[in-house]
Amino acid sequence: MAFLSIKNVAIRGISACVPAYVEENLEIIDVPSMDIDKLIKTTGVERRHVATQGICTSDMCFAAAEKLIEELDWNKDEIEGLIMVTQSPDYLVPATSPSLQHRLGLSQNCFTIDISLGCSGYIYGLSTLASYMQSGMIKKALLCVGDVSSISCSKQDKSTYPLFGDAGTVTALEYCELDEGMKFHLSSDGSGYKAIIIPDGGHRRRFSESSLSEHVIDKGIIRNNSELWLDGMDVFSFGISKAPETVNKLLTKFEIVKDSVDHFFFHQANLMMNERIRKKLQLPENKVPYSLKDFGNTSSASIPLTMVTKTADELRNGQNNIIACGFGVGLSWATMHCNTTNLVIPDLIYYG
């Protein structure tokens, strides 16, 4: 099991951006109304912000980064690192992070990396960027995290289309000597890679004419091999077992008192799963915020988006003891603990 303790790095601010266009789940015409009512109740998702034609994850991260840099009053020449965590890049080649560095007007001395992870990506991104920064050679850096998941979902698939929304977020990290930093538990199990997958379009299985052939999986679940396949039962079992497990391992390893934690931020998978996780961990409702109702499952962006939309006032003022836990596609899961102080959090940005 992978534990990390990274000192001297602190979160300074978080910003988030979503598409301006909103799709109400009650208005989806390809899913029967009875099914939609049940889906809303079990997933907790009433509406989603959906990217319209031409909007990429990098566009939303660009808007979020510009606003956050402005409100932090950072000099762009001092930003020496940028990591992009996404599974919806601008292109297969090249990576998205260098082009985002250029668009933002950051120095050519800024290192850039893409990380292809989904639901656990925010935690893995934090651990990667903080690891680069802990020596003090890099003083300021940006973690850009998000996805345009809606474009990969079949409108005839009630298990995915009403669930996923789109978002881009940016988290600013700064070297801060003597800061207690962040603690992590990181895990993965590639044997479950088929549980959440787009079968065709990569190098293992190239896109072809047959990729567009529709498969009737069940009533209300029709998809092709260029779209997202989700094995709901496998993912549910995975989530309700591994998420509580990783949180408990982190608490035990670093002797963190659970009651001392102010907020537990979980990947926003769906309400039924997240509530099972909360109850297994015996956490009070007021410490576990949800953004599912208005944004759905926004992949790697769901944790910082929840911070911005549900706890901004608390995080902007004073100290907060937080735990964040991501789990999903890969299969991959991870938990992070840190303390924050007076974070800079701009209001939510609407793109397009």
Report whether 112 contacts 98 (CB < 8 A): yes
Q: What is the spatial distance between Cα 276 and Cα 56, in angstroms, rounded to a whole number?
A: 33
pLDDT over 80 at 29, yes or no: no
- Rounded to two decimals, what is the model's pTM? 0.95
Interstrand relation of 263-266 and 319-328 (parallel, antiparallel or unpaired) = parallel
pLDDT digits (tens, 9 = 90+) for 177-188: 887 899 999 999
pLDDT over 80 at 40, yes or no: yes
Identify the pLDDT of residue 320.
97
Domain tally for the chain?
1
Identify the pLDDT of residue 58.
98
Interstrand relation of 332-341 and 79-85 (parallel, antiparallel or unpaired) = unpaired
Identify the pLDDT of residue 74.
98
Q: What is the spatial distance between Cα 330 and Cα 267, in angstroms, rounded to a whole number?
A: 14
Identify the pLDDT of residue 226.
87
pLDDT digits (tens, 9 = 90+) for 191-204: 999 999 999 888 99
Identify the pLDDT of residue 147.
98
pLDDT over 90 at 35, yes or no: no
Which CATH number do you get for residue 7?
3.40.47.10
With 0-12 / 13-18 / 19 or more C-beta atoms within 10 angstroms meaning exposed / middle / buried, residue 271 is: middle
3-state secondary structure of 89: coil
Identify the pLDDT of residue 233.
87
DSSP string over 100-154: HHHHHT--TT-EEEEE--STTHHHHHHHHHHHHHTTSS--EEEEEEEEE-GGGS-
Query: What's the whole-number average pLDDT of the chain?
Result: 95
Q: Give me the domain span that covers residue 171.
A: 1-352
Identify the pLDDT of residue 37.
86
pLDDT band at 68 (very low <50, low <70, confident <90, very high): very high
Q: How many CB atoms lie within 10 A of CB 137?
A: 10
Identify the pLDDT of residue 44.
96
Closest CA to 329 of 154, 192, 126: 192
DSSP state of 171: E
Identify the pLDDT of residue 343.
98
Average pLDDT, integer, range 46-53: 96
Percent of the chain at pLDDT exceeding 70: 99
pLDDT band at 218 (very low <50, low <70, confident <90, very high): confident
pLDDT digits (tens, 9 = 90+) for 245-278: 999 999 999 999 999 999 999 999 999 999 999 9
pLDDT over 60 at 1, yes or no: no
254 CB-side CA count, 13 A: 23
Q: What is the spatial distance between Cα 17 and Cα 103, in angstroms, rounded to a whole number?
A: 17
Identify the pLDDT of residue 220.
84
Please state which of the ranges 22-36, 92-106, 111-125, 170-184 shows the lowest mean pLDDT.
Answer: 22-36
Identify the pLDDT of residue 120.
97
